[in-house]
Structure 1
Amino acid sequence: MKKSRKFYTAALLSSVTAVAVGVTGVSAAQSFSDVSESHIHSESIELLTKAGIIKGFRDGTFKPDASVTRGQAAKMIVGVLGLDTKDVTNPNFADIKPSNQYYNAIAILENLGFVKAFEDNTFRPSAPITHAEAAAIFTTIGELTTDEALALVTGSGIEFNPTKNTTRAELASILALILLAGEEEEVEGYELSILHVNDTHGRVETFPQLITAVKEQKAEKPDALLLHAGDAFSGTLYFNEFLGQADVQFLNAMEFDAMTLGNHEFDLGGSAEGHKALVDFIKAAKFPILTSNVNFSGDAKFTGLFTDLISSEPENGKIYSGMVKEINGEKVGIFGLTTEETKDISFVGSVKFENYIEEAKKAVAAFEGMGVNKIIALTHLGYDDNSKVDNDLLLAKNVPGIDIIVGAHSHTQLDEPIVVDKNTVGEAKDATIIVQANEYGKYLGTLDVTFDEQGAAIEYGGELLKIADYVADETATAMLKPYKEKVDSISKIEIGVTLKEDLVSPRATEAQPNATSVRNSETALGNIITDGMLAKAQNFTKKTVVMALQNGGGIREAIPAGKVTVGQVITVLPYGNTLALMDVTGAELKAAMEVSVKNAPAENGGFLHVSGAKVVYDSSKESGKRLVSLQYLDKATGKYVDVKDGETYTVATNAFTAKGGDGFSMFAKAYEEGRVTDLGLSDWENFRDQLKSLTEIKTTTEGRITDAAVK
């Protein structure tokens, strides 16, 4: 098991705080010239040495009776807790720079809230640490009471004196107890393994490699759960042609244990056949579908498929609130949740959505009533998505009893599991571990969790396995062949549009670095794309959407004159982006335009093409002060009016830009504050629909974006 962090509860630590001296089981061999076998803390020092946590000084000494510095203590604590210090955010200490030898250790402890700054915002890495300060740190790390922390210190053979400096040997003994506590629980706990994917969105071509990855993991962990967190529908020609039937054949072949429904599973609800494709998908599934906050009783197509009960014997091809599965003699509860945003961003018809917090609490209570204390929420809410509606972080904080959240919807790449161990008011709670595996079948997520006897997660490890690194399974490749042949033929199908001239996507060259480019200038192609985004957004919301934005870096190819094919449309926008709505202030929009034109006339992938707006900037001015004016088309008057700093506007863009891609930090802030809604509409399909709607396709620009410096 790959360990990212261990959990040390009060009960666990107190169970080994008898006396450290003589209980480590490690021979007190003399690793250091100044630590004799008779030294009271020699066994603890030797234990940490053999564990690779301490190395001593270059002269072969350990200096056991010298005061330990705060920097040295940070490094030793991080070593014992097994914390990963590779990806840390900068610590908020005025005196800790990257050049400091303890930088990473101090940073991770600060990131986790284990250490805090002094009043002058310093950490003081060279200062000694007193007995009282050491006890305070371990109070935070182990979520201990003051008395329990004191027991840990005194149980290490230390005569507690709050003002006395802690010696290097004394800290070694405290840490030896913690190391022993972690090792003891690792042996006795119940281990559960999970494999997971999410937001595969019709990427059937990735499944032969995904199957190989699943087989390899199952060979090592045959009892691992295999879970899909929703959004198998929409986004590719595979879905357009086979309506989920290609996907479900591969999911069956992989032997998934369960799947929840994402918002895109309801995309066809507005068609003449309603949710027939979803019903057919569910009936074909050789695994149960779980969602506890969706009520299907109003749609006759789901009659006989849906029950709001939790089952210990769930049938394949049926929908349940949750299920209980026995794994290695222990019962594990799994329930599903689907974002309430679905009713606003898809075609739900008569299907109803209920509050996710209330339904989650009901599910947890039902499991606990059945004697199940290991509970997984399989969710399609989004990791940090719209906080005004729902997300996994809020679920973890609001609903006690959930041990693991396997998530989706926000397409978040959580390279390592995230732990939520505090509730909404900052009080300590049992850990909830959150995972999510990005999108499009790019990764297979792995998670290993150890539970104590009470069902609390006390140890975990997890990572994302890159599917591109795996060889395609031969049987699955053969299964893919007829689907692929059909899709390849469809990509050559003409969409019913003929171009009289090329729709160019110009780029600068080494010889002409400031030439007209899709990344520094308005283009006809960018105009058509954004016009399609604006039109589609206005049809999908009651809000007034004033403009649409498309980053130039996302426009990848031109379309030559002649009959346009589906494949050509996809090559223009190949990333599978979705359409999102943002509520942003005029000041934020203006700041975004400064980012857009910051490099002009040099290229910038974040250069924004616009619809419904006019932008004037001056490239002769310094970056950040280039915007001359920003206006939007007021439909009531038919005239362009100035964007005002204090006003809030609804703007359409792609999900990449809405989340802050290309350096749009103001949009990232809006996303974090729940001011972004992903409509889930495929960008290339929006572009195709816009091309088909035009009676005349202009290949010239319209003066939407103007550089005042160019005369």
Structure 2
Amino acid sequence: MGGFIMSNRRTFLKQTILGGGALTLGLIPKELFASGELVRLTVMHTNDMHCHLDPFPADHAEYPGKGGLVRIASMVNQCRKENPNLLLLDAGDMFQGTPYFNYFKGDLIVKVMSKMGYDAGTIGNHEFDNGMGDILSAINNANFPLISSNYDFSDTLLNGHVKTQLILEKGGVKVGIYGLGIELNGLVGTLNYGKTRYLDPLTTALKMESVLKNDHKCDLVICLSHLGLSYEHNKISDVTLAPQTKYTDLIVGGHTHSFLEKPLVLKNADGNPIVVNQAGWAALETGRIEFLFDRVSKRKHPVEIINNLS
């Protein structure tokens, strides 16, 4: 039986990879998962939720009864039942947008996100709306870290409270995460971000992905980005960043409130695939991407589910 499984696995993966197709979970023999030959890692993500805990009103002109973090929580719970190897991430702008923020600032939404089991988030421009004191308060109320690699908080009250990188393990897969934020000057009042120094996103990304892949030997490298999906001008964005990277496997984006039928699969600087995704705003959608790993070699196989759930 063991020989059959090994032969089955090698034949199946060889045919799929050489054929250029993405692995489809439903077509993979269950024996491969049962034997531990393959590890399935699910990445679910949100962005620009703007304190939308509840759905839009039933009489809302554009999104009647839709959206809301409470609804997404049920999706996450169901997905965790299907696969406990699940990462839940957010790409920034959790704050601002509903009366929940007016009354509770950022504390309430991070408490809800903590209950949902978020693994990490990054800092968007709206997190600065009430100054860095509110960001610190939210961090103190969250049981998940905020990651920002290109905001230097050394001379601010956030010094030591925001991670530049995160390394965690799911199902034996080592995952490295870094975060990139948009330039604050001209977008956020100077008093609100104080002495925060903005570091070049591309330079930062190349440094962080190399550290995570080469120094820490991460099997999967994820960028939480609040740069925006794309622009008509030359402003740095997810789609201009991705082709210049080498070790980043997935960019989870935010800021531009972009709805995608499915994520973009681009080529990095070495010609390897890099997935770029964004899930709208107001918790109207959640992104879900599946990665498959060979447990022995930790080789990544093509993603199967690359759609946004509404």
TM-score grouping bracket, smaller chain normalisation:
0.7 to 0.9
Which string of whole-angstrom CA distances, capped at 9 and with x for unpartnered residues, describes residues 378-422 of structure 1? 111111136533211111111111111111111111121210025
Cα distance change on mapping 1:400 and 1:197 into 2, 3 Å: same
Q: How does 1:127-206 map to 2 (within 5 A)?
A: 178=19, 190-205=39-54, 206=68
Conserved? CA contact 2:23–2:301, under 8 Å: no
Name the amino acid aligned to 1:231. D
Name the amino acid aligned to 2:309. L
Cα distance change on mapping 1:352 and 1:232 into 2, 3 Å: same
Name the amino acid aligned to 1:323. L
Name the amino acid aligned to 1:335. Y
SS of the residue 2:266 aligns to: strand
Cα distance change on mapping 1:179 and 1:249 into 2, 3 Å: closer
- Structure 1 residue 366 and structure 2 residue 211: aligned? yes
Partner of residue 251, structure 2: 405
Name the amino acid aligned to 2:208. A
Conserved? CA contact 1:387–1:394, under 8 Å: no
Q: How does 1:69-80 map to 2 (within 5 A)?
A: none
Question: Following the alignment from structure 2 to structure 1, what is the Cα–Cα distance between the partners of residues 299 and 150?
Answer: 25
Partner of residue 224, structure 2: 378
Question: Following the alignment from structure 1 to structure 2, what is the Cα–Cα distance between the partners of residues 198 and 180?
Answer: 29
Following TM superposition, by how much is the alpha carbon of 1:15 offset from its aligned partner in structure 2, in angstroms? Answer: 5.9
Q: How does 1:522-533 map to 2 (within 5 A)?
A: none
SS of the residue 1:211 aligns to: helix
Partner of residue 281, structure 1: 138
Name the amino acid aligned to 2:195. S
Conserved? CA contact 2:249–2:275, under 8 Å: yes
2:280 to 431, 438, 445: 438
Name the amino acid aligned to 2:271. K
Partner of residue 603, structure 1: none
Name the amino acid aligned to 1:328. G
Cα distance change on mapping 1:248 and 1:422 into 2, 3 Å: closer
Conserved? CA contact 1:431–1:457, under 8 Å: no
Partner of residue 302, structure 2: 458
Partner of residue 195, structure 2: 350
Partner of residue 251, structure 1: 113
Question: Following the alignment from structure 1 to structure 2, what is the Cα–Cα distance between the partners of residues 464 and 372?
Answer: 26
Question: Following the alignment from structure 1 to structure 2, what is the Cα–Cα distance between the partners of residues 451 and 223?
Answer: 12
Which string of whole-angstrom CA distances, capped at 9 and with x for unpartnered residues, describes residues 541-592 of structure 1? xxxxxxxxxxxxxxxxxxxxxxxxxxxxxxxxxxxxxxxxxxxxxxxxxxxx
Name the amino acid aligned to 1:268. N
Conserved? CA contact 2:23–2:304, under 8 Å: no
Name the amino acid aligned to 1:441. A
Following TM superposition, by how much is the alpha carbon of 1:461 offset from its aligned partner in structure 2, in angstroms? Answer: 1.6
Question: Following the alignment from structure 1 to structure 2, what is the Cα–Cα distance between the partners of residues 364 and 191?
Answer: 22
Partner of residue 171, structure 2: 328
Structure 2 length as normaliser, TM-score? 0.80
RMSD: 2.7
Q: How does 1:448-527 map to 2 (within 5 A)?
A: 448-451=290-293, 453=297, 455-466=299-310
Conserved? CA contact 1:403–1:457, under 8 Å: no
Question: Following the alignment from structure 2 to structure 1, what is the Cα–Cα distance between the partners of residues 307 and 22?
Answer: 25
Which string of whole-angstrom CA distances, capped at 9 and with x for unpartnered residues, describes residues 627-681 of structure 1? xxxxxxxxxxxxxxxxxxxxxxxxxxxxxxxxxxxxxxxxxxxxxxxxxxxxxxx
Conserved? CA contact 1:337–1:356, under 8 Å: yes
SS of the residue 1:239 aligns to: helix
Cα distance change on mapping 1:322 and 1:191 into 2, 3 Å: same
Question: Following the alignment from structure 1 to structure 2, what is the Cα–Cα distance between the partners of residues 360 and 181?
Answer: 27
Question: Following the alignment from structure 2 to structure 1, what is the Cα–Cα distance between the partners of residues 14 and 304?
Answer: 21
SS of the residue 2:302 aligns to: strand
- 5+ residue gaps, structure 1: 1-11, 17-80, 82-141, 143-176, 270-274, 306-318, 467-711
Larger radius of gyration: 1
Name the amino acid aligned to 2:43. I
Structure 1 length as normaliser, TM-score? 0.36
Identity of aligned residues (%): 30
Q: How does 1:540-555 map to 2 (within 5 A)?
A: none
- 5+ residue gaps, structure 2: 1-10, 55-67
Conserved? CA contact 2:22–2:303, under 8 Å: no
Conserved? CA contact 1:238–1:246, under 8 Å: yes
SS of the residue 2:305 aligns to: strand
Question: Following the alignment from structure 1 to structure 2, what is the Cα–Cα distance between the partners of residues 362 and 179?
Answer: 30
Question: Following the alignment from structure 1 to structure 2, what is the Cα–Cα distance between the partners of residues 15 and 226?
Answer: 31
Name the amino acid aligned to 1:326. E
Conserved? CA contact 1:430–1:457, under 8 Å: no
Which string of whole-angstrom CA distances, capped at 9 and with x for unpartnered residues, describes residues 344-363 of structure 1? 20132211110111111111
Which string of whole-angstrom CA distances, capped at 9 and with x for unpartnered residues, describes residues 247-293 of structure 1? 11211110100000011111223xxxxx2111101111110111111
- Structure 1 residue 293 and structure 2 residue 150: aligned? yes
Structure with more contact order per residue of length (Cα contacts < 8 Å, sep ≥ 6): 2
Partner of residue 267, structure 2: 421
Question: Following the alignment from structure 1 to structure 2, what is the Cα–Cα distance between the partners of residues 181 and 391?
Answer: 26
Partner of residue 61, structure 1: none
Question: Following the alignment from structure 2 to structure 1, what is the Cα–Cα distance between the partners of residues 23 and 69?
Answer: 38
Conserved? CA contact 1:430–1:456, under 8 Å: no
Name the amino acid aligned to 2:168. K
Partner of residue 268, structure 1: 130
Conserved? CA contact 2:22–2:302, under 8 Å: no
Name the amino acid aligned to 1:261. I
Cα distance change on mapping 1:457 and 1:393 into 2, 3 Å: farther
Which string of whole-angstrom CA distances, capped at 9 and with x for unpartnered residues, describes residues 462-505 of structure 1? 22222xxxxxxxxxxxxxxxxxxxxxxxxxxxxxxxxxxxxxxx
Name the amino acid aligned to 2:169. E
1:302 to 142, 154, 158: 158
Conserved? CA contact 2:39–2:171, under 8 Å: no
Name the amino acid aligned to 2:158. F
Question: Following the alignment from structure 1 to structure 2, what is the Cα–Cα distance between the partners of residues 14 and 198?
Answer: 34
2:73 to 189, 205, 211: 211
Which string of whole-angstrom CA distances, capped at 9 and with x for unpartnered residues, describes residues 67-119 of structure 1? xxxxxxxxxxxxxx9xxxxxxxxxxxxxxxxxxxxxxxxxxxxxxxxxxxxxx
Question: Following the alignment from structure 2 to structure 1, what is the Cα–Cα distance between the partners of residues 170 and 102?
Answer: 38
Conserved? CA contact 2:293–2:301, under 8 Å: yes
Question: Following the alignment from structure 2 to structure 1, what is the Cα–Cα distance between the partners of residues 117 and 13?
Answer: 43
